[in-house]
Amino acid sequence: MADLTFTDQNFADEVLQSQTPVLVDFWAAWCVPCRIVSPIIEELAVDYSGKLKVGKLDVDANGTTAQNYGIMSIPSVVLFKNGEPVKTMIGAQSKDNYKKEIDAALAS
């Protein structure tokens, strides 16, 4: 389960300094497409357990981090490797598409 909750306060420790790649779902409670993507993100957390940290960042409660990464549309799912964003996927997408993009980014 995507039980990690990223915040402005823990983002550097949990994401930027992580030795493991991190998938961050930038979302908001009022966003209908975000609610559609949420179960897919949770499935990805299970599928990539041990290979990828997966969590969510509420853009309303953590605007500084969202602004730092230029998040203008949600849901935005960003894959970080070695503290750097390497892939951004904007809008609700299929699980297969997320997996394809994650696999390609992890292989590079």
Indicate the pairing of strand 53-58 with strand 22-27.
parallel
Q: Is 24 a catalytic residue?
A: no
Q: Are 45 and 1 in contact (CB under 8 A)?
A: yes
Question: What is the amino acid identity at position 5?
Answer: T
Give the residue carrying structure tokens 């809008």. Answer: 91
Q: Is 31 a catalytic residue?
A: yes
Residue among 4, 23, 31, 57 flagged as catalytic: 31
Residue among 34, 41, 44, 77 flagged as catalytic: 34
Active-site residue list: 31, 34
